[in-house]
Amino acid sequence: MKDTYFELTVTPSAHLDLFLDRMQTLFPEAIETTDTSLIIRSEEDVTPLVEGAKAYAKILSERLGEAVTVETAVEEKENVDWIAQYREAIRPVEVGDFYVYPSWESPKEGKRNIMIDPALAFGSGHHETTASCLEAIGGFVQKGDTLLDVGCGSGILGIAAAMLGAEVDACDTDPLAVENAQKNFALNDQRLGKIWEGSAPAAEREYDVVVANIVADVLRMIAPDLKKRTKKGGLLILSGILDTKEAEIDEAFGDLELLKTIARNEWRTKIYRKQG
């Protein structure tokens, strides 16, 4: 262990969750989150991560049609066992019948146990959007359902659905997320059907359930694709929706029947049915 390490703080002007997702593809180790920032600690040079964060801000600005900026700060500090400190801070999450735990903890008897390490990819059950999606899946997904997880990240939502007996396909625009989802399905002894780098338009069929835990602006943009891939009478589970964006989602998906809204702090998850 070196005597010092670098601590990089990444503070975006918006979309902290998306930045977390991106930074974990560049740095697949422990990343600490605060309400406004990401904190990355490494003994190696963090300059490529700084450049990656700034480049991603430009990409998001172009994709979302809004100005997204990011501030970065690097400090060199005396080395401590910060990985052990991080692990100490991460606790298992229980959502209904699901128990999500990291590899350094133990499963819980009588629960559907999902092993996910937070450092692998976005979606470890700790964030309100992931937890509320798990709640929705537990309440609405049935054995034998076909399900598409759009923007699968770590694969946690698809794994939960597979544990309930669903046939799961998944996709993500990030190739590392695709790789991690495959590994996590295998780690949890669950079967994954097709998985691809891309989004809903590349799907070859319609599904009983389509899940998309992304952000509201992206959900609005791909709304026609999500609806097209949902069977008549099927369900759409949408998350990553801030309360300030809820009205926009209600408008974009207003042609569907709203079955339930799950609120966790400022985040919303909405379950719709496509009319038959």
| The listed CATH number (3.40.640.10, 3.40.50.150, 3.40.47.10, 3.20.20.120) that belongs to domain 128-273 | 3.40.50.150
User: Which residues lie below 8 Å from residue 216, measured CB to CB, with a gap of 6+?
Assistant: 240, 241, 242, 245, 246, 248, 249
Q: Where are the domains of the chain?
A: 4-87, 128-273
* pTM for the full predicted model: 0.72
The answer to which of 25-34, 157-166, 214-223 has the lowest mean pLDDT is: 25-34
Q: What is the CATH number of domain 4-87?
A: 3.30.70.270
**Percent of the chain residues past pLDDT 70, beyond the cut:** 92
Summarize pLDDT for 55-69 with one digit per residue, the tens.
Answer: 999 999 988 889 999
Cα separation values, 128 from 6, 17, 121, 149, 262, Å: 29, 11, 16, 17, 10
- For a pLDDT cut of 90, what percent of the chain falls above it? 64
When pLDDT is averaged across residues 13-31 and rounded to a whole number, the result is 85
Considering only CA atoms, which of 128, 134, 104 is closest in space to residue 116? Answer: 104
pLDDT bin (cut points 50, 70, 90) of residue 127 is: confident
Using pLDDT thresholds of 50, 70 and 90, give the confidence band for residue 43: confident
pLDDT of residue 55: 92
